[in-house]
């Protein structure tokens, strides 16, 4: 079983719909992240959380919101999806105790907004 | 926002050839990581470099961190089809709380 699990893996929706992407982890890491991946643009940080009560905006937070329901769960919401939010979304975790700052990624959620 | 440029963006080579991927920034990194991503999966860490001039080897992959800690390279010797994937560099900047900034990636295809 994957240490970082994302659901759904694929989703097609229509403009204006509310979408939630969920992420859960069994690694026991304190830090969690949501990234967006578009071809040629690498990974762009949407939001991150260093602990349950901590939420921080990343580079491209407009149009997104997050909730850190528990240390192991971090969800990403699109309140009113638009076509340019069509992308591959990744959840990642890290351990603040590790000096390398290595990120552990989920398998991704592919979102298509029509 | 820190800018991290990766080149080339695409690379298609024959099995057995050598290749080098570059990662450059105008700012100094506190550390730099290289990830590989295969289709349908998330990126997986290959290596972290921290010291200027550092060289690390992982089988046929050689990673080098520039002396000034502003650039890095990944060299693959005798590439194999299993090396096919997206290679991402990610730099941590101390003035950004050591949060990672990712390059745009190099998509490598190794043909048998």
Q: Is the dihedral angle over the CA atoms A10, A15, A20, A23 positive or is it negative?
A: positive
Please answer yes or no on whether A107 and B100 come within 8 Å at the CB atom.
no
Task: Inform me whether the C-beta atom of residue A52 falls under 8 Å from chain B C-beta atoms.
Answer: no
Q: How far is B77 from chain A (nearest CA, A)?
A: 24
Mean pLDDT for the stretch of residues B18-27: 95
**Average pLDDT score over residue span A34-50:** 90
Query: So what's the pLDDT on residue A47?
Result: 96
The number of beta carbons lying within 10 Å of the beta carbon of residue A8 is 12
Whole-number pLDDT of residue A4:
96
Name the nearest CA neighbour of A50 among A108, A92, A7, A3: A92
H or E, element range at B75: strand B71-76
Contact residues on chain A for B91, CB-CB shorter than 8 A: none
> For residue range B29-83, what is the model confidence (pLDDT) as tens digits?
889 999 999 988 999 999 999 999 999 999 999 999 999 999 999 999 999 999 9
Average pLDDT, chain A: 93
CA distance A70 to A24: 9
């Amino acid at each position: 079983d994957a240490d970082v699990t994302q659901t759904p893996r694929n989703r097609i929706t229509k403009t204006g719909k509310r979408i939630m992407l969920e992420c859960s982890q069994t690694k026991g890491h304190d830090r969690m992240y949501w990234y967006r991946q578009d071809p040629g643009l690498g990974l762009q940080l949407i939001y991150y959380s260093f602990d349950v009560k901590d939420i921080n905006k990343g580079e491209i937070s407009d149009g997104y919101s997050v909730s850190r329901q528990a240390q192991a769960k971090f969800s990403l919401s699109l309140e009113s999806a638009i076509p340019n939010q069509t992308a591959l979304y990744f959840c990642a975790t890290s351990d603040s105790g590790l000096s390398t700052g290595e990120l552990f990624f989920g398998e991704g959620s592919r979102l298509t907004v029509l | 926002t820190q800018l991290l440029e990766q080149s080339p963006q695409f690379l298609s080579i024959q099995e057995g050839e050598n290749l080098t991927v570059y990662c450059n920034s105008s700012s100094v990194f506190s550390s730099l990581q290289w990830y590989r991503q295969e289709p349908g999966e998330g990126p997986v860490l290959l290596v972290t470099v921290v010291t200027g001039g550092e060289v690390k080897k992982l089988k046929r992959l050689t990673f080098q961190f520039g002396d000034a800690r502003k650039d890095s390279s990944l060299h693959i010797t005798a590439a194999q089809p299993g090396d096919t994937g997206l290679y991402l560099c990610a730099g941590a900047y101390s003035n950004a709380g050591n949060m990672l900034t990712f390059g745009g990636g190099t998509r490598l295809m190794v043909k048998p």
